């Protein structure tokens, strides 16, 4: 079975071929937390999916990790990387305030400098 490597909340995503599970705030609805599995094949673009149970319910983080390990095994990959982007101190403060991104004294902006994109401010 593929080895599970837990990354810290703000670690960079691994490069190259592999499987990654990430729990994060949804870009389109920052009050919602989602889980994604990303597969990067040998030669190709990263394929991302939001894993679901057979009845259509979204998978939680632990179930998604188990599913990703199955994918890694089928693709003959030695490890699965997992990270919870909501587990950092600021993110935990947001979750403690019911998802409100305007915690006292904080300003969160939705900017993606790597892609040169600037989205809406995530404050309420």
Q: Please list the pLDDT of the chain residue by residue as tens digits (124 residues).
A: 899 999 998 899 888 889 999 999 888 877 788 999 999 877 778 899 999 999 999 999 999 999 999 999 999 999 999 999 888 777 667 666 665 656 555 555 555 555 555 544 443 3
pTM above 0.85, yes or no: no
Residue partners of 37: CB distance under 8 A and separation at least 6: 19, 20, 21, 48, 49, 50, 51, 64, 67, 68, 71
Question: Which of 30, 22, 26, 32 shows the shortest CA–CA distance to 101?
Answer: 30
């Amino acid at each position: 079975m593929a080895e599970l490597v837990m990354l810290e909340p703000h670690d960079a995503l691994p490069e190259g071929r592999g499987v990654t599970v990430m729990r994060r705030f949804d870009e389109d609805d920052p009050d919602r937390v989602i889980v994604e599995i990303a597969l990067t094949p040998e030669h190709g673009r990263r394929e991302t999916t939001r894993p679901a149970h057979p009845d259509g319910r979204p998978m939680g983080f632990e179930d998604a990790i188990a599913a990703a390990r199955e994918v890694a095994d089928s693709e003959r990959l030695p490890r699965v990387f997992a990270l919870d982007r909501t587990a950092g101190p600021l993110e935990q403060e947001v979750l403690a305030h019911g998802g409100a991104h305007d915690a006292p004294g904080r300003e969160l902006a939705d900017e993606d400098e790597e892609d040169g994109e600037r989205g809406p401010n995530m404050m309420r």
